[in-house]
Structures are given as C-alpha cells and as structure tokens.
Amino acid sequence: MTATISDILLDWYDRNARTLPWRVPPGEPRPDDPAYPYRVWLSEVMLQQTTVAAVKPYFAKFTDIWPTVFDLAKAADEDVMAAWAGLGYYSRARNLVKCARVVAELGGFPETEAELLKLPGLGAYTAAAIASIAFGQRAVVVDANVERVVARLFNIDEPLPSARKTIRVRASAITPDARAGDFAQSMMDLGASICTSKAPRCLLCPLANKCQRRAAGEPERLPVKPPKKAKPERKGRAFWIEREGKVWLVKRSGTGMLGGMRSLPDDGWSAREDGSGEVPLAGEIESLGAVRHTFTHAHLTLDVVAISGDGAPQGEGEWWPVETIEEAGLPTLFAKAALLAVADKG
C-alpha cells in the first residue's frame, strides 16, 4: 500500500518536530488542562508575521505574568501593551485583550473552528490552528509556510493572492481526519526548515518524490507573489520634555498606529501623512538627531527634539523616571528615540 502524503509527513514530524515552549511533542496526548488552549492561542497570535525566535521571550513573559486566559482578561490594557512593546503589529495586542475578556465570559475557549471564528481578532488561520492543535478537530490550517509547501507540492503557479483558493482546496485534500493538529504543525515545520522561500533543501525533504514543482524544476519560483509596492517615506517629530530627571510620556489613542501605547509626544505623523511639525509647548528647542523605522505601510524618519522650559505639556500624560525609561514599555520606534535622547543628554 502506497503511503499517503499525510502518512509520510507525520512520520517525518514524529522524528523531527521542533521543540517549542507552547507545543506538545508528537506522540504525547493533548493536556487535559484549560491553560493549554490559551497557550496555543497566545502563541499563534504572537507568531503572526513574527519569527519563532522573536516570540519565545514574549511568550515566556506573558505566560509568567498571566498564566491563564482569565488572568489576562483581568489585566489593564496599558500593562498588556507595555509587555507587548517591541513585538510589533500592536493591533494584535489590543485584540488579544478583547478576545481574552470574551473567552473569560464564556468560561473558556470554544472548541470548534466555527465558534472560534466568532472571537475578536481571530481569522481563518488562527481559528483553524486552535481547533486542530488545541482540540484535535479536523481543520485546514494554511499559513505562509503551508501555502508555500502546497504550492510547490502541487505545482500551483497561479499568482497570489488568487491562488489561495486552490491552495486551500489542495491542503484540505491532504489533511487527515486523525492527528490534524500534528499534521498542521508538520507542514509548518517543513516550510520553516526545509521548504524555505530561498534555497529549499529538497534533498532532505520527505515529500521530494511527490513534489510536482521539484520534478518541473526551480521550486523556489513558487508561490508566485505579486510585486511589492514601494513604501512611501514619511517624516515626523517626537519631543523629549525632561524635568528633574523625569520625561513626559503620553498614551496614544486606542486606535491607529501604535494605538494604546505609551510614547513620547509627537506631531501627529501617520503612515498616510507627514507630521505637522507643531511644537506642543513653548520653550527652547534643541535637535537631538533622528531615528528611522519601517512600518508595514511606510518608512518613517522621526526627528527627536528636546524642549526645555517651565511650561506644562499639553494633554494627559505622566512623568516617567529617565533612569528606568526601558521599563515604560515604549514601542520600538519611541524606544529608539528615547535611547537617542538619553545618549545625547548623557
């Protein structure tokens, strides 16, 4: 009897699965522990557009501070945002808190893909991943790694994103009824370690003899991606207002870029337009230099400006000790600006 793709891949996974802090090793039963779906969900949210290496310390920090979804549901928004600082894509953190509170009201995570899809911030991939990995449901899990493996396995040369429907149909056809969660993770591991975007290691691939694109040649050509659009260049200003060893920090609006995060006051820049250049209070102005940061939709050059004087800063905020500024949970952009200011003042 000829081994199926799922048989081959599960056998490979049993011997080669990555060891990850949120993962149950292959062959071991899923824990009968309400914290397990929480850990699966948390890891999947953190891993969206983020590497495993970057996620590991954040996952450890979150599960140490908030061991269960019920603990996270009780957390203050600003504490979660501060703990998330540096991981990027901050809408994930805002949705994380919203989802945790809904799950807590439900008494725990729903077990089906359809019900999981109703939770705030859960898209098709995350709902399928939780249903299959945490609850053993048969669900078709397609992330970027799986997308790449399936496109090459079946030589799907239709460009993305239109190819995704075909990729999903093909992925469904090879997803087994049993061990669907392990199968999903085996596909992820294969894409992360062997069927990589560049220089795939085809000689080590357990599916090499079944891969249609390998037979056709140049597997790295798939999946076909649309050309990247050039990101616009934006400019803005951030203001360093220091009094008696403390710096003025504000909380950004709950929506928009870096929403809900502590930050230095700025001049209203966004991914769509430059900042106004307006100074938030009267005083002597000193340029400290500039920092550069790349967002999903734009590049930003942020001038860092110190303002000295006795005037009161506009709006709501807090005075934060400069010596512990790294504990403020500033997003990466403003952490760079603060580092520049501290170095200049030092």
Close Cβ partners of 39 (under 8 Å, ≥ 6 residues apart): 22, 59, 63
At 101, list the tokens: 């509170």
CA-wise closest residue to 230 among 297, 315, 163, 309: 297
Please tell me the distance from the alpha carbon of residue 165 to that of residue 151, in angstroms, as a whole number: 11
The CA-CA-CA angle for residues 15, 20, 26, to 5°, reads 35
CB burial of 105-131 (b: ≥16 within 10 Å; e: otherwise) equals eeeebbeebeebeebebbeebbbbbbb
Block residue for tokens 């996270």: 72
* Pair 317, 251: CB distance under 8 Å: yes
Q: Which residues are designated catalytic?
A: 44
